Structures are given as C-alpha cells and as structure tokens.
C-alpha cells in the first residue's frame, strides 16, 4: 500500500480557492525530519495550485506568510504577486522541496536546486 504524499495533493472535494484547481503542490511548510519521517506544521505554508492539466494557477499563503511579507496581498495570489512571493521565499522553498526531491523531480523533471536557481532570473524578468 502506498503512502499518501504530503507534497502533492489531488483534491477529493471542491477547493476553497478562487480557481478551478485540481491539485496543490506544497512549496513551503515548517518541517522537521526524524529518520525518513517528515513532520509538517502548517502554521506557515505556501501551496502552488494547479488545474487538471497541471497548469499553474497561483499560490495560497498562510496568514503568517502574509504578515511576514508586509505586502498588501490576499491569501490567494497569482500574476505578478505570485512571482514576488516566489522570489522572496525562493531559498526557503528550494530547501523545503529538497525533502521531497524524488516527487519534485517526477513533477518538474529536474531536481529542486537547479530548478529554483534557473528560475530566479526568469521570475524577476516577469516583474519588469
């Protein structure tokens, strides 16, 4: 029997997001690791929302992330604000995704470290 992933989640009920999303990818949460077991605390998180075809729709943010950023943003962000958040948290997100490197690589066809390193410049250009 396979263990349910904490990294990617396909909805079993309707999402509360403003999008017609089908799944989420957990980009950031407080995590502690004991052996192979990863314990997550969702008091601080960033989720990537995707539609049924896997296209990225936006991010959902915990209240603590919204407060930390000191940006005037809502719980659900897309467009330029999504890139701002990704750039602000890119190092933390990359480190967190290392915990799920195999699943990350299965989704994005590359290990988390080079994925995030190569996207920083691209995301910054989206804000110009």
Domain ranges of the chain: 8-126
> Residue 3 pLDDT more than 70?
no
Mean pLDDT of all residues in 89-97 = 97
DSSP class of residue 21?
-
Give the residue with greater pLDDT, 119 vs 1. Answer: 119
99-126 pLDDT, tens digit each: 999 999 999 999 999 999 999 999 999 9
> Residue 28 pLDDT more than 70?
yes
Q: Which of 117, 11, 122 is nearest to 60 (CA)?
A: 11
In this prediction the pTM is 0.90
Sign of CA dihedral 26, 66, 16, 21: negative
Both structure tokens of 62: 């915990």
**Average pLDDT, whole number, for the chain?**
92
Find out whether 11 and 23 touch, Cβ atoms under 8 Å: yes
Give the per-residue pLDDT at 8. Answer: 87
Nearest-10 Cα torsion for 28, 124, 80, 67: 40
> Could you tell me the end-to-end alpha-carbon distance of the chain, in angstroms, rounded to an integer?
48
DSSP class of residue 38?
E
Residue 2 — very low, low, confident or very high, per pLDDT cuts 50/70/90? Answer: very low
């Amino acid at each position: 029997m396979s263990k349910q992933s904490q990294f990617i989640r396909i909805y079993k009920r309707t999402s509360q997001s403003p999008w017609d999303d089908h799944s989420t990818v957990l980009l950031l949460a407080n995590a502690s690791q004991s052996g192979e077991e990863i314990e997550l605390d969702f008091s601080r998180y960033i989720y990537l929302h995707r539609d049924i075809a896997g296209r990225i729709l936006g991010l959902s943010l915990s209240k603590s992330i919204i407060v930390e950023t000191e940006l005037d943003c809502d719980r659900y962000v897309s467009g330029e604000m999504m890139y701002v958040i990704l750039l602000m948290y890119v190092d933390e997100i990359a480190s967190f995704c290392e915990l799920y490197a195999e699943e990350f690589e299965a989704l994005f066809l590359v290990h988390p470290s080079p994925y995030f390193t190569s996207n920083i410049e691209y995301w910054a250009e989206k804000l110009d």
